[in-house]
């Protein structure tokens, strides 16, 4: 029992800590329009390499996936061994991790310090949504949001399109409406925070040797 609670607490902390908020200001931060300019002035491969070789993206993706999955698995185990906890597990299974992920995204938006910029935590949001929202709702919403963002070169569109689509699909497909709506809130928050603070959404990229 102690091990289960330790795993639950560890997963909760991992899901809650807003790591991207503490990225050094010495990093390069770009929006999609700037990345497209760099692609045209250099090469597509160099631009992609700068994005993909930034370790923070992979760390955030991994912790979003693993922490969310660990929380779900641990809550299910606690439900099986604790009669008292079983009464609340049905809602806690999604409420707890999604609430922590939402708080994490809020902290990222508020604590990230860079003049005129707001961080777009796409890897973390994507990972959490893929685990915590039904796949039939999460996958098409995220893919369509990514497609529109890449096509129109706007990070804000990823959040602005994926979020409402997630809520609508959750309702139309009757796939656990609460997780779908909570996932939509989680997905919309970065764009809402950036808009409210009059800041431009950016992603961190790895510095090239020539920059």
* Three-state SS at 201: strand
What's the pLDDT tens digit per position in 66-105? 999 998 888 888 777 666 666 666 667 788 899 999 999 9
Average pLDDT over residues 41-48: 68
Confirm if 73 and 111 have CB atoms less than 8 A apart: no
88's tokens: 């609340």
The H-or-E segment that residue 1 falls in is none
Residue-range domain boundaries for the chain: 2-205
* Residues ≥6 apart with Cβ < 8 Å to 196: none
91 vs 53, higher pLDDT: 53
182's tokens: 């909570």
What's the pLDDT tens digit per position in 171-199? 988 767 888 999 999 999 999 999 999 99
Confirm if 60 and 124 have CB atoms less than 8 A apart: yes
201: which strand partners? 118
pTM (2 decimals)?
0.89
Residue 119 has pLDDT above 90, yes or no: yes
Distance CA 94, CA 88 (A): 11
Q: How high is the mean pLDDT of the chain?
A: 86
Distance CA 178, CA 193 (A): 22
Taking CA atoms, 64 is separated from 13, 50, 61, 67, in Å, by 11, 22, 5, 6
């Amino acid at each position: 029992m102690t091990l289960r609670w330790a795993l639950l607490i560890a997963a909760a902390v991992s899901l809650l800590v807003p790591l991207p908020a503490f990225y050094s200001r010495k990093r390069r931060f770009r929006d999609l329009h700037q990345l497209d300019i760099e692609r045209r002035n250099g090469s597509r491969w160099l631009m992609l390499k700068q994005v993909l070789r930034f370790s923070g993206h992979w760390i955030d993706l991994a912790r979003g996936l693993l922490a969310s999955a660990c929380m779900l698995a641990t809550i299910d185990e606690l439900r099986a061994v604790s009669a008292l906890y079983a009464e609340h597990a049905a809602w806690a299974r999604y409420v707890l991790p999604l609430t922590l992920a939402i708080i994490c995204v809020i902290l990222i938006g508020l604590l990230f310090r860079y003049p005129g910029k707001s961080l777009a935590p796409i890897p973390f949001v994507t990972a959490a949504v893929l685990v915590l929202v039904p796949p039939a709702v999460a996958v098409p919403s995220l893919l369509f949001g990514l497609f529109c963002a890449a096509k129109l070169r706007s990070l804000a569109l990823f959040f602005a399109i994926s979020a409402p689509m997630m809520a609508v699909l959750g309702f139309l497909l009757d796939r656990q409406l609460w997780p779908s709506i909570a996932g939509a809130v989680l997905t919309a928050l970065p764009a809402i925070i950036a808009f409210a603070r009059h800041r431009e959404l950016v992603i961190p990229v790895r510095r090239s040797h020539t920059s």
